[in-house]
Amino acid sequence: MTFLGRGPFAVVNTAVNTATESGYPVAEKTFDKSFDRRTLAAIRRDRDKLAQLAATLPILPTGLPELRGGKHLLRMELCAESLTARVRRTGALEVQEVLELGYGLARALTAAHASGVLHGGVSPNNVLYRRSGQAVLSDFGVAIRQAVPRRDPLHGIEWMSPETLQSGVLDERADVYGLGTLLYFALTGDSPYPKRIGESPIDRIARVLKEPIPAVSRPDVPVELATAVARMLAPAAVHRTDKASTVVAKLGKMLSRPDPGPAVVVRGRRSWIPYAAGGAATAAAAAVVWWMLPLGSDEPDPRSAAPQTPVTLDLADPVDQGSEIMLRWESSQALDVTVVVMPVGGEPDYKQARRETTFKVTVEAGRQYCFKVRGTNAGVAQIFESKPKPVRGAVCQ
């Protein structure tokens, strides 16, 4: 078995002495845990539907989860590379290829959505190329994302819709947004929100939630295509292209394809409820976003209204213990707290204190620091912040 890579909730290896019917080697994606009976049933329902749809839409994956060594895994043909690797290797794709890829993916999502199956994480990392050259959209399924916590809740935030990042919502519109980020990446060679040198996590989150995505400006990209991608990436869900079938119609027109007609529907119990909040994995990411959003953020949380009573959060004077600083704070209600460590002349650091009211921070001897704490109640769309407190003569802004 050869290690191939590690994703946000699984490890991928090549299978030993195993091949597909075509003789191709097989990859195994082993998840970090086994699934309970309810989760496994939901995964099987989704994968059964996808297997039936794949008969006419080979861009969809097939295969059912297997249990080995106390963990579940999925097997599929070992693909040559992902769309991410392809673009990193060769640069942005030709317009015609992007149109063909987008059209195929949109048709696949249309059929999956009509059959009650969400993807939940569309990104260029999940578009794989078989050795035949056929693309496949891997890692389908909200049930898996609900069951397996992500190692890094902020992994891949540049491909998440603002509402998914903020409150954990997974729905058809989130899949369409993911498809838009994928097409943007294929056309430009970069993500809609590329990392910036020295940028803190809080600043990057704020960009995803607030800043419009730069327009696709390649001279050979038709205005219709650039406009279609921009509408898929509208920050506000109410202004965004909300159906994959709409994308099929737009891209099909650019390709001069006949109307494919209604999507093939595989009947059966739905594994998701439209516009419902996602599970633990996306909820964890949403919680991190609320801890790290700037004070005064006006992004609404669709789940609840702001609190009616004032909330106070007061940080006591830090206690310098040499190699550590002891912090204590009080709040008028229980809050999830992030400690903001601000070394003079350095970048801020963020440490999660959860619902504690004390925290020790390891520091450099002789260096000046400022500290503050930010808190949020998970059910409230508001961030509370203490006044900054200095140690060792630091001047806090």
Tens-digit pLDDT profile for residues 2-27: 767 777 667 777 766 565 555 667 77
Asked whether residue 8 is domain-assigned, the answer is no
Asked whether residue 161 is domain-assigned, the answer is yes
Is residue 381 scored above 70 in pLDDT? no
Task: Tell whether 188 and 216 lie within a shared domain.
Answer: yes
CATH number of the domain residue 196 falls in: 1.10.510.10
Amino acid at 250: K
Asked whether residue 21 is domain-assigned, the answer is no
Asked whether residue 26 is domain-assigned, the answer is no
Asked whether residue 40 is domain-assigned, the answer is no
Task: Tell whether 179 and 266 lie within a shared domain.
Answer: yes
Is residue 269 scored above 60 in pLDDT? no
Of 254, 285, 316, which one is at a domain's C-terminal end?
Answer: 285
Side-chain half-sphere CA neighbours of 115 within 13 A:
25
Task: Tell whether 235 and 358 lie within a shared domain.
Answer: no
Is residue 321 scored above 80 in pLDDT? yes
Amino acid at 42: A
Domain count across the chain: 2
How far is the C-alpha of 341 from the C-alpha of 352, rounded, in Å? 11
Q: Which domain holds residue 308?
A: 304-391
Which residues have a Cβ under 8 Å from the Cβ of 149 and sit 6 or more positions away?
9, 32, 280, 281, 284
Task: Tell whether 261 and 319 lie within a shared domain.
Answer: no
Asked whether residue 218 is domain-assigned, the answer is yes
**pLDDT tens digits for 103-156?**
999 999 999 999 989 988 899 998 989 888 889 888 887 777 777 766 566 678
Task: Tell whether 239 and 202 lie within a shared domain.
Answer: yes
Task: Tell whether 255 and 331 lie within a shared domain.
Answer: no
Question: Which carries the bigger pLDDT value, residue 292 or residue 95?
Answer: 95
Task: Tell whether 113 and 240 lie within a shared domain.
Answer: yes
**pLDDT score for 305:** 39
Task: Tell whether 88 and 229 lie within a shared domain.
Answer: yes
Is residue 55 scored above 80 in pLDDT? yes
Task: Tell whether 267 and 349 lie within a shared domain.
Answer: no
- Mean pLDDT over each residue of the chain, to the nearest integer: 80
Average of per-residue pLDDT across 167-183: 90
Task: Tell whether 184 and 222 lie within a shared domain.
Answer: yes
Of 229, 252, 285, which one is at a domain's C-terminal end?
Answer: 285
Is residue 258 scored above 80 in pLDDT? yes
Is residue 307 scored above 70 in pLDDT? no
DSSP state letters, 100-168: HHHHHHHHHHHHHHHTT---S---GGGEEE-TTS-EEE----HHHHHHS--SSTTTTGGGS-HHHHHH-
Query: 3-15 as b/e, with b when 16 or more CB fall inside 10 Å?
Result: eeeebbbbbbbeb
CATH number of the domain residue 309 falls in: 2.60.40.10
Asked whether residue 19 is domain-assigned, the answer is no
CA-closest candidate to residue 388, choices 344, 354, 346: 344
